[in-house]
Amino acid sequence: MQLEQMYQEIILDHYRSPHGAGLRDPFDAESFQINPTCGDEITLRVRLDEGKVAEISHETLGCSISQASASVLTDLVVGRSVEESMRVLTAFQEMAQGRGQVEPDEDVLGDGVAFAGVARYPARVKCALLGWMAFKDAVVRVSGDVPGTAGGTSDGKDAT
């Protein structure tokens, strides 16, 4: 059974009690993203403070993967500088889109490495990225541009 490789305990834990769940005030920007194939939705709010990600909150209507991913995102980027958080995002995205070929760096991704198994299921990659794309979009809305990333959703494949 390959299921356990995908649904690692860390993922199931985050899914059962997701961090950052529930929308909170105040916030600097909000992003609403959908996955057009399955209709899953996330609303994500971000509050920045002196170039740092001060708070993330989200409401996710989606599968275990998208919920767990939004939770891990919260853990990974809150407290970091916007620039650092974008480096984490890039690393996460590369792993998720890597078809299982990209070796994730646990120092950068922490619990995020648990999603390496998801990368082998192309139909689930969008689930894993939904929250991250919302985060990126929200940051753009605050700051007008995204430091430290190239392209991202603009390749037409991962836009939600």
Partner 1 sequence: MTAVDTPAAASALDVAAVRADFPILSRTVRDGKALVYLDSGATSQRPRQVLDAEREFLEQHNAAVHRGAHQLAEEATDAYESARARIAAFVGADPASLVFTKNATEGINLVAYAMSNAATAGPDAARFTLGPGDEIVVTELEHHANLVPWQELCRRTGATLRWFEVSPDGRLDLDSDPITERTKVVAFAHQSNVLGTVLPVAELVRRARAVGALTVLDACQSVPNRPVSFTGLDVDFAAFSGHKMLGPSGVGVLYGRQDLLAAMPPFLTGGSMIEMVRMEGSTYAPPPQRFEAGVPMTSQAVGLGAAVDYLSAIGMDAVEAHEAALTGRALDALAEVPGVRVVGPTDLVDRGGVVAFVVDGVHAHDVGQVLDDRGVAVRVGHHCAWPLHRRFGVAATVRASVHVYNTPAEIDALVDGVRAAQKFFGVA
Give contact residues for partner 1 (rule: CB under 8 A). 1-3, 6-7, 12, 34, 36-41, 61-65, 121-124, 127, 155-157, 159
Which of 55, 158 has the CB closer to partner 1? 158
Per residue, what are the HEC states of the chain?
CCHHHHCCHHHHHHHHCCCCECCCCCCCEEEEEECCCCCCEEEEEEEEECCEEEEEEEEEECCHHHHHHHHHHHHHHCCCEHHHHHHHHHHHHHHHCCCCCCCCCHHHHHHHHHHHHHHHCHHHHHHHHHHHHHHHHHHHHHHCCCCCCCCHHHHCCCCC
Min separation Cβ 83 and partner 1, Å: 27
**Nearest approach, Cβ of residue 68 and partner 1 (Å):** 11
Q: 68 near 85, Cβ under 8 Å?
A: no
Q: In terms of CB distance, is 40 or 55 closer to partner 1?
A: 40
> Least Å distance between CB 82 and partner 1?
25
In the complex with partner 1, the residue whose CB is nearer, 26 or 36, is: 36
**Closest CB 7 distance from partner 1, rounded Å:** 7
CB closer to partner 1 out of 7 and 140: 7
Amino acid at 104: P
Which of 13/28 has CB closer to partner 1?
13
Cβ pair 59, 21 in contact under 8 A: yes
Smallest gap from Cβ 42 to partner 1, in A, equals 11
